């Protein structure tokens, strides 16, 4: 039950952060030495700005989330490792938050801009962090 509550909390947290960006970031804000900015951008493409049609983006988004959930249930949940469970639930939470925007708003709100690199949102960064944590746990386990 705690995982479901955590999932819902993080989805709302991410959606709120995107709402905040949309309503407050009317111009970019320098956060760290002209390298990190807050800047509101509507991302119409899928991961790494791959240009796909809106219908194909939605299909891929749903397929990826279902695949992650299936993989977790089939292979990872049986390990009874709390950190693995947590990492998968948080990855799913952040993925669902992005998917909600992609499916219902047709765009994903990005607002953290690393100069010379990329612009992304909290969900993108936390997915990356929890994937790294999962990989570290798996490497240590083996």
Stated length of the chain: 142
CB 122 within 8 A of CB 95: no
Identify the active-site residue in 124, 126, 127, 130: 124
d(CA 63, CA 97): 15
Our answer to whether residue 14 is catalytic in this structure is no
d(CA 46, CA 54): 9
User: Residue holding tokens 């952060």?
Assistant: 17
Identify the active-site residue in 61, 93, 108, 110: 110
The CA-CA-CA angle for residues 57, 11, 29, to 5°, reads 85
Burial readout 60-82 (b: 16 or more C-beta within 10 A, e: otherwise):
ebeeebeebbeebeeebeeeeee
Our answer to whether residue 124 is catalytic in this structure is yes
Enzyme catalytic residues? 110, 124
């Amino acid at each position: 039950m705690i995982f479901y509550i955590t999932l819902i909390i993080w989805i709302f947290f991410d959606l709120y952060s995107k709402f905040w960006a949309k309503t407050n970031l009317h111009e970019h804000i320098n956060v760290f030495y002209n390298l990190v900015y807050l800047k509101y951008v509507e991302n119409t493409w899928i991961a790494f700005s791959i240009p796909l049609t809106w219908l194909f983006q939605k299909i891929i988004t749903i397929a990826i989330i279902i695949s992650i959930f299936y993989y977790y249930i089939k292979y990872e949940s049986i390990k009874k490792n709390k950190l693995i469970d947590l990492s998968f639930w948080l990855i799913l939470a952040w993925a669902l938050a992005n998917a909600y925007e992609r499916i219902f708003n047709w765009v994903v709100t990005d607002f953290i801009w690393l100069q010379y690199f990329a612009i992304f949102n909290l969900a993108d960064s936390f997915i990356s962090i929890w994937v790294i944590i999962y990989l570290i746990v798996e490497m240590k386990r083996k």
